């Protein structure tokens, strides 16, 4: 389950969906918004239009008049086609929600129609709102945790994930740092089945370019990511100012859109970087790869980060990455081998490492090739698909957690 599918910033969801399907899993996507207009921007989806039948949009809850019109027809269909599931849902939901049980059943019709073996919430914050689903069928519940879910969602509430820990059958973390932070938020590591599965890449989409042509000329620097506070773009821009003062010739391109766009435009102007820094806006993934072919160095100055696909993709394209030490990034970049990891919120440290790469093009090229080898060794989509295959098979072989007496009906 995801908020929107497909989505440019969530290529990892598309890859996981497609490659699990290729491995023979009967995989479906349930989403609040099915963005059909973006389908053709993903080559694997564009080549298989029939996969759209496996994407199910949740029924509308807004505007109210639309929900009021659709609700009786959807519920009638569900009761006629799946009476046992529907009555079981109502029987279990009635003590808590009374007549609102029908509204919840209406919103959950895609799940009830599919009756899956596993419900996997791709973001922990979504799962928190649907823990009740564990008792509505015989399925198992899995959840993935990425940076936002652990670092920000529900922080004021120390028990935010308490109910989820009680019912979830399996948990997926991108890396060790996310697991550590989940334990700090109450995750009972010894009691719940979990796996560490990092993001992965389909290397056929990332042909490494010829880097020999990049050994001279202005340094070409790239950043890719949403223009949000946690991405630390202000520190990246301050690092660019330090490059300018040091007399380093460079071009800096930023790919992405977001709420901080206007503020970052203003900062670029005040720092006197309008001729060196270009904001390219959002773009399809194929265009992002073209920018990685252009780049000599990727800069990622986040103050908070789960793992970061853009940094992983840069290494696949033989682009060394200069990143902050924000949470999962040190697991992504091998410091001194495929790039550099510096203290977060330290633009001078960023600038110093970028200058090192400018002054030593041979090392820059060697780091790029090392990055490609590291991705080939650790982060291929085939490895990820195998890991999720094992995750789901193990999950199905284990007893369900938190079963009610009626769970086997």
Give DSSP secondary structure letters for 277-314.
EEEEE---HHHHHHHHHH-SEEEE--SS-S--HHHHHH
pLDDT at position 207? 86
Q: Which part of the chain has CATH 3.40.50.2000?
A: 2-201+383-397, 204-378
**What mean pLDDT is predicted for residues 220-228?**
96
Phi, psi at residue 185, to the nearest 5°?
A: -100, 20
Count other C-beta atoms under 10 Å from residue 150's C-beta: 29
Alpha-carbon dihedral angle through residues 290, 295, 301, 302, given to the nearest 10 degrees: 20
- What CATH architecture is 204-378? 3-Layer(aba) Sandwich (3.40)
What 3-state DSSP class applies to 366?
helix
- Which of 338, 337, 316, 341 has its CA nearest to residue 177? 341
**What mean pLDDT is predicted for residues 292-315?**
95
Q: DSSP string covering 314-363, please? A: HHHTT--EEEE--TTHHHHS-BTTTEEEE-TT-HHHHHHHHHHHHH-HHH
Confidence of residue 408 (pLDDT cuts 50, 70, 90): very low
| CATH of the domain spanning 2-201+383-397 | 3.40.50.2000
In whole numbers, what is the pLDDT of the chain averaged over residues?
93
End-to-end CA distance of the chain: 24
pLDDT digits (tens, 9 = 90+) for 334-392: 999 999 999 999 999 999 999 999 999 999 999 999 999 999 999 999 999 999 999 99
- Which of 150, 117, 122 has its CA nearest to residue 15? 122
């Amino acid at each position: 389950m995801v908020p929107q599918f497909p989505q440019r910033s969530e290529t990892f969801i598309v890859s996981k969906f497609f490659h699990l399907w290729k491995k023979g899993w009967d995989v479906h996507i349930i989403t609040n918004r099915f963005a059909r207009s973006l389908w053709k921007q993903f080559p694997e989806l564009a080549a298989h239009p029939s996969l759209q039948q496996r994407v199910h949009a949740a029924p509308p809850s807004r505007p109210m008049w639309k929900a009021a019109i659709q609700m009786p027809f959807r519920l009638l269909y569900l009761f006629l086609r799946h009476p046992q599931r529907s009555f079981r849902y109502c029987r279990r939901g009635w003590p808590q929600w009374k007549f609102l049980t029908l509204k919840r059943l209406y919103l959950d019709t895609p799940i009830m129609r599919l009756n899956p073996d596993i419900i996997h919430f791709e973001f922990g914050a979504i799962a928190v709102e649907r823990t009740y689903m564990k008792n509505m069928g015989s399925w198992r519940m899995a959840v993935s945790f990425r940076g936002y879910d652990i670092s920000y969602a529900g922080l004021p509430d120390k028990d935010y994930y308490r109910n989820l820990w009680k019912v979830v059958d399996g948990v997926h973390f991108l890396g060790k740092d996310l697991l550590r932070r989940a334990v700090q938020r109450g995750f009972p590591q010894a009691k719940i089945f979990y796996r560490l599965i990092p993001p992965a890449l389909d290397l056929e989409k990332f042909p490494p370019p010829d880097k020999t042509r990049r050994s001279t000329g202005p340094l070409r620097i790239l950043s890719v990511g949403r223009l949000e506070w946690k991405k630390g773009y202000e520190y990246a821009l301050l690092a660019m100012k330090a490059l300018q003062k040091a007399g380093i010739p460079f071009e800096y391109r930023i790919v992405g859109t977001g709420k901080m766009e206007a503020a970052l435009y203003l900062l670029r102007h005040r720092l006197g970087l309008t001729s060196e820094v270009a904001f390219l806006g959002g773009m399809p993934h194929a265009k992002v790869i073209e920018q990685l072919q252009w780049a000599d160095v990727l800069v990622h100055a986040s103050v908070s980060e789960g793992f970061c696909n853009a940094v992983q993709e840069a290494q696949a394209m033989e682009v060394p990455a200069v990143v902050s030490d924000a949470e999962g990034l040190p697991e992504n970049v091998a410091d001194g081998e495929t790039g550099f990891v510096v203290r977060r919120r330290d633009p001078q440290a960023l600038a110093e490492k970028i200058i090192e790469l400018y002054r030593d093009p041979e090392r820059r090229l060697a780091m790029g090739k090392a990055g490609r080898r590291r991705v080939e060794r650790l982060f291929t989509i085939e490895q990820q698909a195998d890991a999720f295959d094992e995750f789901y098979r193990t999950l199905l072989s284990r007893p369900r957690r938190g079963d009610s007496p009626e769970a086997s009906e």
